[in-house]
Structure 1
Amino acid sequence: MLGNVKGYLNDNIDNNIDFLLYEVGINIKVNEIDKRAIIIDATEKINELDEKIIITNFQINQGDLIFYNNMNWLILSEIDVSKNTYRGRITKCNFDVKFPIPISYKNANSEVEDYKYNYTVPIIATRSAFNVTTNQYFSLADGEAYFTVKSDSFTKWKGYSDFISLGTEIVKFGYAFKFEGIDQTKKGLITYHGKVSETSTQLMDMANESTFFSKKYELNINFIDNLEMGSTIKPSVQILADNVDITGKVPVYYTSLTPDTISIGTDGTITPISTGTAKIKVFSQGVVKYLEFNVKAINYSINILNKTDNVGVNYTYILDVGCYKDGVKETNPIITYSSSDPNVATIGNDGTIKGIKQGIVTITANYNGMSDSMNISIIAINTINITNKINALKVGESYNLAIACTSNNIVDTNPVLTYTISDPNVLTVINGTIKAIGAGTATVVVAYKDKIDSITITATAIVYAISIGNKPTTTMYIGDTLQLSINCTIDGVADTNPVITYVSSDINVLTVSNTGLITYNSAGSATVTTIYNGVSDSTTISVKSIPLITTYSFKTIILDNVVMTNDAVILDKGTTKTIKVTEIRKLVTQGATTITDEIISNPTVAYSLDNANVTIDSNGLIKGVAAGTSIISIAYQDIVKQISIVVNDALTITGKTSVVLNRSTTYTSNMNVNWTIANEPVNGVTESIVYATITAYTDTTVTIKTTSKWIFDDGHNRYFNIVATSKDGSKTTTNKVRITPY
């Protein structure tokens, strides 16, 4: 139930305060902090000032500012304290007053910047005072008033450097009042005695009840919605004066409105105390802003993820610890570790456990008030390890065990070992040396104190193999030799230095040296056997007498009676050349022995052609038929000689064979040429008269004109020669032309 509590409540309130607060209490604010209280009328009689009784289950003080029923009230009375309750008389504030607060700031240029503002507070204003001598109220003279306010850092008078002091002027009721008296006899309250000022020196703003025209101040605050327990935060406050940033030039005041939830320092640093909703008040330059946020509890947890039962003496074990904040694993948590008995086991700051001596110990990990622990036994640990285990040996081979032993993590350099063999017919062991003595599989167990290690080995016989890599596949001849190529392997691996024995079944037919060189002595057949570590390979060889072999070769070939030095012939189309074999060598040998070596002169050979670019007759006459390349094959017995024939086009001149005096005619060539012309001598004498001249020419044509002079007085015929020479100078041809008179 909300609202005023009517009537009289007896002393049962003290015994039932919590119940009554729940049933009939009212939500109020005490010094801006949310509270719940019982409010009842102070009297049935209506007085000049409205008064109530406040009853709480928490401490209240004279001078506290109560916000109740959307109005401000002041506790003017002393506080009555009983067993469970606090009671006081509250009086409603009937006005607000703007107190002038002078603030200035000296900048870097030593200039004073003025940032005065109005400080608005609720007051109780009266025109009467209480006389403590007569216990009666008396009225003040006209132009006087009492202003009672809550005492705070602004209103409290200390007598020096005060914001509000004697002589301070305020505006109220359309007048400027100057304070001429200050009463601080009531704890938490201060009463100013003001008189209307006739000679005010302030610039008054009567309409706004301000002592001076103030700047427009604004607060901009950057803050958060949540604050975690264990952390702190400081709001970012910006102060503007007429839109100019003056942050740092004027003070900022912070107040915690939920002191059970947070505390706040003078610099604005907020420290959480408990979880819940928190409120703060930020005040500067007469501007107030309220911030509300949540204080969250953080759920911390810790878990040793790799708990173990045992750690060996002199061994270490590194803990893997998971630390979680609100269910999220921390990447760099701060963990503290402890051991219940450091004489048994220690633990370092990094979570490394080290066994010291045998025993039981509890290891604990702590993180932000949470912990996890485990009990471990520190035990003696012996180890044995065969470090060079193998799984196979050949019969007859030996192998030395390499064994590492430790006792309590200390290497035992002289361990006492015992050996056990599962099958002594396969393996033996003496002082750590294992030897394979028979085929099969056996296990050797090595014991050291309370630990063992074992090795299982399969022993197999060695497999030798030999093969002749170059066995003869044809008949061999007396006097020849053959170096055998032998491949020997041990278990499939080549033996690079084998010991081999060679045996010939008939040394009259062939013999074999100790390096495998066979010499064929006489006709017949014999077997060669190669022996290597009890295995062998053999080959049977037939030997015959060396046969007579006749070979022929071309010795001398002539071309137009000139000995040829290469196998190529060049001729022009339409021309001929004669090729002839004049000598062939006949050689008869038996093995490396020459029986006869003779020359056959002018042998009869056969000619053949690969195409029709040339022709050749039985006497070797070659004629160029068409430009191109041909191959002439010359055959004798079982040998053939090939000659390359290249046929080139012949240089020709086409035109008239006779020309009339003083006439022109044109001649052509079948290739690019240079042209010349000359008189044909008469009776061996070349006349001085030029019979014909060249009047025009190209690389393949020439135009000539005969002389107009009469050149036939002696009755002889007259001729001139047209000469064409190929551009490369390799060919020349001449046409003889007759000059006629008609």
Structure 2
Amino acid sequence: MTRSLEPMMDFFLREKGELVHINGVRQLALIRDATNTIQMTDEKIIRAATPLHTGDIVDYRYERYLITSQVDQNEKSCRGRIRKCNQWLALNWNGQVKWFDSVVEARTFSTETGKVISMPEGNILVSLQDNADTRNIALSQRFYMTHQPFKIVGINHTLNGIIQLSCTLDSINTAYDDVEHNIADRWKYEITHTYALHIHQGTITHVLLNETIPLNVTATDNGNEVTNPAITYVSSDPSMVSVDQQGQVMGIALGQASITAKLTYHPTVLSTIEMRVVETGTHIYSIAITGNPMLKTGQSSSYVSHIYDHGVEVFDQSVEWSLRNQDDSTPTKGSITASTGNSVAVKAGSSSGSSNKALILTATLVSDPSMTIEKTISLKNLF
């Protein structure tokens, strides 16, 4: 007597499922390859105990997938087919740029015969999640993919949960298009952006074995903090230190690994921190610097380092101070004029050319020089 496959799959889901994110929500899912052969499309089958819908976004093993099939459902689980999102597309609405995870292909399949249909040279088919943003996509809208411009010539809204775009190769507009970063008409509406990403726990910190800590990360654009930035987190050794896409770090095994935070849509903008996994009872120091975040030309201000062990402030540790320009240029546009204990006085330079520049004040723990913290001090003209 043969056992039904469905109860067996539900059992495997409970026992062998992996943690994924479905539309940003952490869920347990069972994922397997859709075929026995390796394919360019990287199609997989997903099964979850929670509802699935065509067009859902699935984050799985540091990759993003789109549910492209209809969803089968039984009493205990849902099943669908997912495809890896192979491109980020930036669409520009009069200066408002939004990025979309998409499945892009230069060929498609007939829904009646299942046969491959080759598309004309220079044409592509783009599949996106159907949502409030993608519903605003219009005919003739342009975007870049791998530094090549495309124009939308057809939009298919008939697939529940997914929008499909038929696109053809277009001409580069050298005056307006940011070809390097794949954004059409960027310079038509905006000035150049300078992004930065900063992990505020310094260059190295500790996490207890089997415990979690959040990374404190901020992103700036031209010096201004970005609200709710899209950040991707990666561990150099997930068997030692794991990190989820909300920046929660867990100590898995005693040792050390690096965690890298990247701006999702500008992956060259990144920041890295070394995470040491330690046992309970080990000193876990951290440093915070308080003081004025901005100095005007010729102005002085005091800064204080606060040292914590397991989050409780201690007073038997000390730091050494250093100062540099944020862009690492010379000479330094400020100076340390006094240092007493864990306090320091910083004076901005007198040059008027320092406006809109920044200094980086660094505190280094004397007992563990690998433990540092930085504070950014913006410089402004006096008038």
Q: TM-score, normalised by structure 2?
A: 0.48
Greater RCO structure (CA 8 Å; 6+ sep): 2
More helix by percentage = 2
TM-score, normalized by length of structure 1? 0.26
